[in-house]
Amino acid sequence: MKLDYALATIAEDIRPSENQKVFACLAEYVFAHKKDIKHLTYSSIAQVIGTQRPEMLLQVAQYLSGERVKLLEMKFELIIDDNIIPLDDETVYHAEITGSLIHPDTGYPVKDYDRYIYPYFIPSREIENG
């Protein structure tokens, strides 16, 4: 996907126009830094788009990782104390379905696992190919 196409799609989908600027800001950032972005958190996105409004932050992240533009891909990590463990989609899906997460390193269930799973984003394959 090319930046021009992403911006045109954003302009078509997002109203009012001041909101388009917020969505476009993150799209432009992702294209400009696609080789460097390895771990884009919600806090990082908030800084890039200049908002502390949770609903706007979620809308932007959801839209840019959705099928219309697919600039971002959501990933997950398990953070317990100072240990950060990447989780694959299958592990997170299984935890949501069963209500139980098995710690990838220890093999033991993680009590209240949802308190320790954090999302982050990376550039999608579509942007890498664009």
Per-residue pLDDT reduced to its tens digit, 66-125: 999 999 999 999 999 899 999 999 999 999 999 999 999 999 999 999 999 999 999 998
Indicate the length of the chain as a whole number.
130
- Rounded Cα distance between 5 and 42, Å, is 24
pLDDT of residue 130: 58
Longest dimension (CA), the chain: 50
| Cβ atoms 126, 30 nearer than 8 A | no
Range of the domain at 21: 3-74+120-129
Do 53 and 89 lie in one domain? The reply is no
Task: Supply the mean pLDDT for the chain.
Answer: 93
Do 87 and 111 lie in one domain? The reply is yes
Residue 56: helix, strand or coil by DSSP? helix
The answer to whether residue 25 scores a pLDDT higher than 80 is yes
Return the residue matching tokens 């697919």: 70
pLDDT of residue 118: 95
Do 66 and 84 lie in one domain? The reply is no
